[in-house]
Amino acid sequence: MSVKMLIIDDSDKVREQIIQTLQSVSFCDHYLQARDGLEGFKILIDNPTIDLILCDLEMPRMDGFKFITMVRSRDDLKNIPVIILTARETRELKIKGLEQGASDYVTKPFDPGELVARVKVQLKLKLLQDELKRSNEMLKELSNTDPLTQLFNRRYMMEVLDREIQRTARKGSPISILLMDIDHFKKVNDTYGHQLGDIVLVNIANVIKKHLRTYDVAARYGGEEFVAILPETPLDEAITVAERIRAATQQSSFSNKLQTLKITISIGVATFPMPGLDSVDDLIRIADEGLYRAKSEGRNRVITLQQVTH
């Protein structure tokens, strides 16, 4: 793993001593230097992936206390460990630095062994912290994702839809949803088995994703049902997207035991705001009624119960 360190001190000699000491134990791959807190903060803004900062307390323009305060005030920087450097043995000064967010301190002139040990501890803690953050992000992603299709799951879809409806109500811009159901899917499972049925579900999920924009949201609603959330999309444009998905599904092909299988999809479309729609539940209900009509009128079609306006 590449390690990047920022050293802030108004003494060129001190900075050079620190770098030479740490280079002797190969702790770091890249060293960045600054003469005061202001210069250091500018470097940090341009390099937010820095792993560790060593910062003098007493410097011109911006001292170490002010620098630490600014770093801890930003969410993208606040978890970077800061070791303060001080030539003063004052207990109160060290306590103040730690209270303001410093991770540790080293007294100048520093003992090389002590500096190496303290840097080693902070880098290890930073590595553990980064691993924990990545694990939490993976857990969050897993909790929001349907394990089979890798689309979002129903719970996350409802959260997004509720948030988007509120945003739409404030801005007045339209949001549309597509409620989609694979036609005669039970027959697929009965004929080919659930394992091959899962292949069909994954294939159709990929078709849906392929025809959506990066900021649209596709989710598995349950079983063979899918939902697409289309922000900033009026009804006529949503119908166009639905038709593309319907046509692409009809043209999709499979291999091996499924090579003779032909799949179609029925889609109900609804848009908010529209007269009579006041909530997420209303929006889903109108889309579901459109889907029901698409099924009852022969399947493999797109239906909306709302009036397209221009």
Token readout for 134 is 């990545």
d(CA 162, CA 164): 6
Q: What is the DSSP letter of 224?
A: T
Please say whether the beta carbons of 2 and 30 come within 8 A.
yes
Q: 62 Cβ partners below 8 Å, 6+ apart? A: 36, 37, 38, 40, 41
- Alpha carbon separation from 248 to 60, 152, 219, 300, 301 (Å, rounded): 65, 21, 18, 11, 12
Write out the H or E segment, with its range, that includes residue 256: none
* Helical ranges in 51-193 per DSSP H: 64-72, 91-99, 112-144, 154-171, 185-192
- CA-to-CA separations, 19 to 3, 33, 54, 124, 210, in angstroms, rounded: 13, 10, 11, 19, 50
Does residue 224 have an active-site annotation? Answer: yes
Q: What SS3 state is found at 52?
A: strand
For the beta carbon of residue 293, count every other beta carbon within 10 angstroms: 15
Strands of the sheet with 302-304, listed across from one edge: 217-222, 225-231, 175-182, 265-272, 302-304
Catalytically annotated residue among 16, 224, 225, 289 = 224
- The torsion defined by the Cα of 31, 34, 38 and 41, in degrees rounded to 10, comes to 0
DSSP per position, 87-112: S---HHHHHHHHHTT--EEEESSPPH
Catalytic positions, written as ranges: 224
